[in-house]
Copies of this chain bind each other. A is one copy, B any other.
C-alpha cells in the first residue's frame, strides 16, 4: 500500500462556482434538516441576506484541506464527498454530505483550518453562509447552539461507527455495506440503479482499499448475483445477500 500518487490534484482553476439566483432561507425546505431551523426570524433574515447561492459542477472543489473557511456551506442539492489526503497520496473519503447537510461547520466552530476537503460528486447547489452570523448566533441563541451540538453529536456517532467497521470488517464486508448505504441514503432510479453513482475509485476511497481490489470484489458480487451493473451504474440485485455478506457469510 505505497506511493501511488493522487492523479489529479484540484487546482484553483476548477473552482469557479457559478453564483445563482436568490432564494429566501425562510422558505427553504432544506433548512428543516439542519440546525438553521433553530434560528429566530431576524437571525434567519440576516443569513438570507448575506448568504451566497452557488452552483458547483461535478468534480469541482468546494474547499480544500488546510484552507481557512470564512463560513459554512449548506447543501441544497447534490452530493459532496468530504475527504482527507493521507501520506501515501490516497484520499480517504470520510463522509458524503447531501441535501440539508451543512459542511465546514466543524472547522468554523473550532476556528481551525479545514481538516477535510469537499468536492462535488454530483452537480450541486449550495449556499455559502458567512461565519459571523453563525458565531454571533451561537453566542446569543442557546437553542441554536444545542441544535448544532445535536447534529455534531450525530456526526460523531457516525464517525465512531465507521471506525468500528474499518477496524473489524473485511474489505468485502465494507464494500457490501457501502452499496447498502448508497441505496438507503440516496435511493434508486426507476430502473433499479443506485441514484448516486460513485466511481470505483471513490468507493475504494470510502472503504479504504485499492481501486483494483474494489473492482475485483464488485465483479465477484456480480458473478454471485448480488449486484448488476450497466456502465458505471450499479443496481442491487440481492439486498438480503449483501446483508449476509456484511454480517460475515
Contact = CB atoms under 8 A, between A and B. Distances in A.
A248 B89 CA distance: 12
Number of copies: 2
A29 interface: no
Contacts of A52: none
A86 B163 contact: no
Interface in A90-148: 90, 92, 94, 106-107, 109-110, 112, 115-116, 138-143, 145-146, 148
Interface residues of A, number: 52
Nearest to A85: B164
B166 A208 contact: yes
Nearest to A114: B157
The residue in A1, A139, A167, A209 that gathers the most chain B C-beta atoms within 10 A of its C-beta is A167
B163 A92 contact: yes
Interface of A: 1-3, 84, 86-88, 90, 92, 94, 106-107, 109-110, 112, 115-116, 138-143, 145-146, 148-150, 152-157, 159-170, 205, 207-209, 247-248
